[in-house]
């Protein structure tokens, strides 16, 4: 399977970076073809320009140079694996901006002859979310887990109805011991290996 790992965390030696590496290594161990997009490392611009938004439904929409490779890589992928920390009960701003700019008309969705939205990511067979939360499970549940809903509901609607989704969370990371973190890294590696 062609696996795309999308990572978002600004600190190069963070636990999130270790999770990115565990996902990448698990994919390789499973015999999958893997590519990684590291938004912070490449200093991805999360802000959509006015021209990009104005041309959203145009016959020939404006596609900024900095997202062309990302679009090609998303079209290549059969599995999208998102690795990020949950901040303010949702995705980091840079990842949200990536979704807004890259998952655009003609990529994530298309408009039919009646101007209705139809799925555009029919190549995607799996969506995986790997995230950490500072809070415990109950608090996250009460806050409605916006990141999970964005990826496993909203994004998934743009794929085939057969697309499977997997959520791999670590709750209460602020109080997690080294052994709990290590066990979670192993869990991530194993789950991605078995995609």
Mean pLDDT, the chain, as a whole number?
A: 94
Whose CA is closest to 123, among 75, 165, 166, 155? Answer: 75
What domains lie within the chain, and their CATH numbers?
2-193 (3.40.50.360)
Cα–Cα distance for residue pair 92/69, rounded to 1 Å: 21
User: Using 50, 70 and 90 to split pLDDT, how confident is the model at 59?
Assistant: low
Q: What is the pLDDT of residues 100-122, one digit of tens each?
A: 999 999 999 988 889 888 999 99
Mean pLDDT of 179-186: 98
- Does position 14 have pLDDT exceeding 90, yes or no? yes
Its pTM stands at 0.95
* pLDDT tier at 85, thresholds 50, 70, 90: very high
Mean pLDDT of 35-48: 96
Model pLDDT for residues 133-170, shown as the tens digit of each residue: 998 888 888 888 999 999 999 999 999 999 999 999 99
Condensed to tens digits (0 to 9), the pLDDT of residues 128-143 reads 999 999 988 888 888 8
Question: What pLDDT is recorded for position 186?
Answer: 98
Whether residue 58 has pLDDT greater than 90 = no
- In this prediction, residue 72 has a pLDDT band, given cuts at 50, 70 and 90, of very high
Q: Which of 181, 86, 83 is nearest to 141 (CA)?
A: 86
Is 82:6 a contact under the CB 8 Å cutoff?
yes
Q: Is the pLDDT of residue 61 over 90?
A: no
Local structure of 82: helix, strand or coil: strand
Q: How confident is the model at residue 56 (pLDDT cuts 50, 70, 90)?
A: confident
DSSP for 126-185, please give it: EEEEEEE-SS-HHHHHHTT-HHHHIIIIIIGGGB-TT-EEEEEEE--GGG--HHHHHHHH
Share in percent of the chain as helix, strand, coil (round to 5): 40, 25, 35
The pLDDT of residue 49 is 87
φ, ψ dihedrals at 17, nearest 5°? -65, -40
Count of alpha carbons within 13 angstroms of residue 35, beta-carbon side: 15
Percent of the chain with pLDDT over 70: 99
């Amino acid at each position: 399977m062609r696996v795309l790992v999308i990572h978002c965390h600004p600190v190069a030696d963070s636990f999130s970076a270790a999770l990115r590496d565990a996902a990448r290594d698990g994919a390789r161990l499973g015999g999958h073809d893997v590519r990684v997009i590291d938004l912070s490392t490449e200093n991805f611009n999360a802000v959509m320009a006015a021209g990009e938004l104005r041309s959203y439904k145009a016959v020939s929409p404006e596609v900024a140079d900095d997202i062309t490779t990302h679009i090609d890589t998303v079209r290549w992928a059969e599995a999208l694996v998102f690795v990020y920390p949950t901040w303010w009960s949702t995705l980091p701003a840079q990842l949200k901006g990536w979704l807004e700019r890259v998952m655009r008309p003609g990529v994530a969705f298309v408009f039919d002859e009646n101007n209705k939205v139809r799925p555009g990511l029919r190549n995607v067979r799996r969506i995986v979310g790997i995230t950490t939360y500072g809070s415990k499970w109950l608090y996250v549940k009460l806050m409605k887990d916006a990141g999970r809903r964005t990826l496993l509901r909203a994004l998934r609607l743009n794929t085939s109805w057969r697309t499977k989704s997997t959520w791999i969370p670590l709750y209460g990371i602020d109080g997690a011991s080294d052994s709990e973190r290590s066990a979670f890294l192993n869990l991530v590696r194993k789950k991605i290996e078995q995609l």
